[in-house]
Every structure is written in C-alpha cells, then in structure tokens.
C-alpha cells in the first residue's frame, strides 16, 4: 500500500506513520508512506505522481494551502484520484460546509489506533463513511 500523507504537524505524521506500519504488519501488507509537511509540495507530488498512491491522507488546516484546497485541485485536475482521498482532521464540520453533497472519508482527530484501523479498512474498501458511520452528505 502506497500512502501520501500531507500533514503539517510532525508529531501527527509520526503517529500516522506508526499506525500505518502497524496496520500493514497486522494485514501482511507492505506499507510505503511518503510524508510531506508542506502542502505546496503535496500538490506538486500529486500533479506529477498522484496515480502512484493508493491512499492520499490530507489534513484540512495547514499553512499556505489547506487539505480542502488540495481536494478542490484534485477535483478539477485529477478527479480519478478523489476515491483515494481521506481527510484526517479535527474540523469535520468545516468539510460538511465546504463540500455539501460530497461523500467524503473523514477521520476526526483525536483518535486511537482501533478507530484508525476500522476507518482505514473502510477507506481501502472505498467506503465513503466517516468515523461516526454517517455519510458526509447534505443535511
């Protein structure tokens, strides 16, 4: 499994990388994580090599460019990659407002490994459910 992780906080990146590696070991799957703290670098990586990744994990609030803006870029330029996107954020409600009618995968911070593992299984199966089991669709 190849993962692009765009998250500006180093400690969150380390936690997510450890969780992904644990998940890979438990599932008998090789996990390769490319972590980027600069969202502009993330957009560049997606523009050049987005097809390489099985999972694109985005934080929402980052300096310069937010994960929601990266999602907008993908929707315009590489819509075939949208199924690989998962948001990992403490601001789920902002995504609901920003993308009404879109079915998104959202893991809300903070979380423990058990919730992450359940979420990751759903995401890899292309299930658009968030961690509460609700679709992020219009109210």
| pLDDT exceeds 60 at position 128 | no
The domains located in the chain, with CATH, are 2-124 (3.40.50.2300)
Whether omega before 37 lies within 30 degrees of 0, making that bond cis, reads: no
**103 vs 21 pLDDT, higher one:** 21
Q: What average pLDDT does range 13-37 have in this prediction? A: 94
pTM for this predicted structure: 0.86
Instruction: Read off the tokens for 86.
Output: 């998962």
Q: Which residue in 16, 29, 110, 18 sits closest to 56, CA to CA?
A: 16
Question: Distances from the Cα of 125 to the Cαs of 120, 131, 136, in angstroms?
Answer: 8, 14, 17
Letter string b/e over residues 73-82, b meaning 16 or more CB atoms within 10 A of that residue's CB: bbeeeeeebe
The predicted pLDDT at position 133 comes to: 42
List beta partners, residue 57: 5, 86
Least-confidence region, from 19-28, 72-81, 88-97:
88-97
Q: What average pLDDT does range 56-69 have in this prediction? A: 93
Convert the pLDDT of each residue in 41-51 to its tens digit: 999 999 999 99
| pLDDT exceeds 80 at position 125 | no
């Amino acid at each position: 499994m190849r993962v692009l992780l765009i998250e500006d906080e180093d400690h969150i990146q380390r936690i997510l990388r450890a969780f992904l590696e644990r998940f890979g070991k438990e599932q008998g799957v090789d996990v390769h994580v490319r972590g980027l703290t600069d969202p502009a670098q993330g957009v560049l990586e997606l523009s050049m090599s987005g097809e390489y990744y099985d999972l694109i994990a985005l934080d929402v609030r980052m300096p310069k460019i937010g994960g929601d803006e990266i999602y907008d870029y993908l929707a315009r330029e590489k819509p075939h990659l949208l199924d690989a996107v998962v948001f990992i954020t403490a601001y789920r409600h902002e995504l609901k407002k920003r993308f009404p009618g879109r079915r998104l995968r959202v893991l809300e911070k903070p979380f423990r490994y058990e919730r992450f593992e359940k979420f990751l299984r759903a995401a890899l199966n292309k299930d658009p459910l968030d961690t509460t089991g609700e679709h992020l669709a219009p109210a």
